[in-house]
């Protein structure tokens, strides 16, 4: 994946997360504002109705006059007015009411909310109005609205920044996969191009020689074809890991079998083999998968060993350790060892196509085995925990 594509993807993820978060925050803030406003208005209406009911009860008594209303406790921002049927002011407290026509229930006059009710006293109809100025309430609601808007903006900005940071983590495995795929393609191209060139060159030489004295050329072609077959077989093996029949497999026997297969190479380098078998390991797996994994590990230990070197194999407490002398692995390259086609030999002159340890890792991952590489003194050590 190119850098600009990676950044575009990050921006898209950031925008998506930020947009969704902002919508959720806006909905949450709006809900807080709405329910708080409704609660305030409900409390005000309940307060006005209670006062109107209290005044009505007080003045309905035929033996008392309207002066009794003075004893009703009314908040400073609330006022009370009583009118008779002829629209004459009978009584008011705190503020004169602005009434242009009689009404019952709630009504709005500018920034004031009024609650009106009608009562009969000594055969005469009276109207009682209790009002409250909402200027302070509306100002507080406006402040709350601004606080919620600013809070939403600030939190959305923080989420935007964090989303951009998180998007890097989200896309990091994808970017790494694309980079590995690109390296994989390049390495496959290299590993196939070289043998194809060898085949093409030898075929050309065969033609030039008129098919005489071509034994060496045929040998080169045969060796190259075998290499390509090995490469293709390894790639096919990777694609089929875990798809074959599984059964109880004795790991100890598998390792002994692979040592026997590799004995000609071991003898050629005069390698000393130390086999420490303290425990027996049985695993439910496909036998060919286990054979391939340990063959590759042991083949690696032989291939990169010195003449007259040694290989120490230890089986203990569900752990297999394969330790060998030879070229010491650079510690900064340990994490790259299991990548497909990776080889420490940058010139790529060493035998093999660089898939051996990649296959080992694929098999270990499939069977949930832990594999670790250690470098101690003159030894490279591969440890597999079951």
Does the pLDDT value for residue 321 go beyond 60? yes
Whether the CB-CB separation of 117 and 51 falls below 8 Å is answered with no
The pLDDT tens digits for 199-251 are 888 888 888 888 788 888 888 888 888 878 877 777 667 667 766 788 899 99
- Please provide the DSSP assignment of 96-134 as one string: ----SS---EEEEETTEEEEEEEEEETTEEEEEEEEEE-
Range with the largest mean pLDDT of 61-65, 68-72, 139-143, 321-325: 321-325
In the chain the first and final C-alpha atoms are separated, in Å, by 36
The pLDDT tens digits for 7-47 are 888 888 888 888 898 899 999 999 999 999 889 888 888 88
d(CA 341, CA 344): 10
d(CA 359, CA 352): 13
At 271 the pLDDT is: 94
Does the pLDDT value for residue 339 go beyond 80? no
d(CA 21, CA 24): 5
297 pairs with which residues across the strands?
A: none
At 50 the pLDDT is: 85
Q: Which residue has the higher pLDDT, 322 or 229?
A: 322
- Order of strands across the sheet that contains 370-376: 272-277, 310-316, 319-324, 379-385, 370-376
The torsion defined by the Cα of 196, 201, 206 and 208, in degrees rounded to 10, comes to 150
Question: In whole angstroms, how far apart are CA 18 and each of 8, 154, 164, 360?
Answer: 15, 12, 9, 42
* pLDDT band, residue 284 (cuts 50/70/90): very high
* pLDDT band, residue 1 (cuts 50/70/90): very low
> What values do phi and psi take at 140, rounded to 5?
-65, -40
> What values do phi and psi take at 94, rounded to 5?
75, -35
Q: Which residue has the higher pLDDT, 250 or 119?
A: 250
> What values do phi and psi take at 66, rounded to 5?
-70, -10
Which of 76, 87, 105, 46 is CA-nearest to residue 97? 87
pLDDT > 90 fraction of the chain, expressed in percent and rounded: 27
């Amino acid at each position: 994946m190119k850098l600009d594509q990676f950044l575009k993807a990050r921006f898209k993820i950031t925008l998506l997360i930020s947009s969704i978060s902002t919508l959720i925050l806006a909905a949450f803030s709006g809900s807080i504002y709405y329910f708080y406003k409704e609660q305030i208005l409900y409390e005000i209406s309940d307060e006005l109705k209670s006062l109107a009911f209290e005044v009505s009860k007080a003045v309905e008594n035929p033996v008392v006059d309207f002066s009794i209303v003075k004893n009703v406790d009314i908040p400073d921002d609330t006022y009370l007015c009583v009118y008779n049927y002829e629209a004459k002011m009978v009584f008011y407290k705190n503020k004169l009411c602005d009434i242009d026509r009689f009404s019952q229930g709630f009504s709005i006059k500018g920034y004031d909310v009024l609650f009106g009710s009608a009562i009969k006293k000594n055969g005469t109809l009276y109207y009682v109005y209790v009002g409250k100025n909402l200027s302070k309430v509306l100002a507080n609601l406006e402040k709350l609205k601004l606080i919620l808007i600013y809070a939403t903006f600030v939190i959305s900005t923080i989420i935007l920044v964090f989303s951009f940071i998180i998007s890097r983590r989200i896309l990091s495995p994808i970017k790494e996969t694309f980079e590995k795929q690109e390296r994989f393609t390049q390495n496959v191209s290299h590993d196939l191009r070289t043998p194809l060139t060898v085949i093409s060159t030898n075929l050309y030489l065969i033609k030039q020689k008129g098919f005489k004295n071509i034994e060496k050329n045929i040998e080169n072609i045969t060796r190259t074809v075998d290499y390509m077959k090995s490469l293709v077989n390894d790639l096919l093996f990777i694609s089929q890991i875990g798809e074959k029949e599984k059964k109880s497999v004795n790991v100890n026997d598998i390792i002994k079998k692979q040592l026997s297969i590799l004995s000609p190479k071991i003898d050629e380098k005069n390698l000393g083999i130390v086999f420490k078998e303290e425990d027996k390991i049985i695993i439910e797996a496909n036998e060919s998968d286990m054979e391939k994994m340990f063959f590759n590990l042991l083949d690696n230990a032989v291939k990169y060993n010195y003449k007259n070197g040694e290989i120490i194999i230890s089986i203990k407490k569900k752990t297999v350790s394969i330790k060998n002398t030879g070229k010491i692995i650079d510690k900064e390259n340990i994490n790259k060892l299991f990548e497909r086609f990776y080889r420490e030999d940058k010139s790529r002159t060493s035998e093999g196509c660089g898939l051996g340890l990649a296959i080992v890792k694929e098999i270990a991952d499939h069977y949930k085995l832990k594999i670790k590489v250690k470098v101690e003194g003159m030894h490279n050590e591969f440890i597999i925990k079951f």
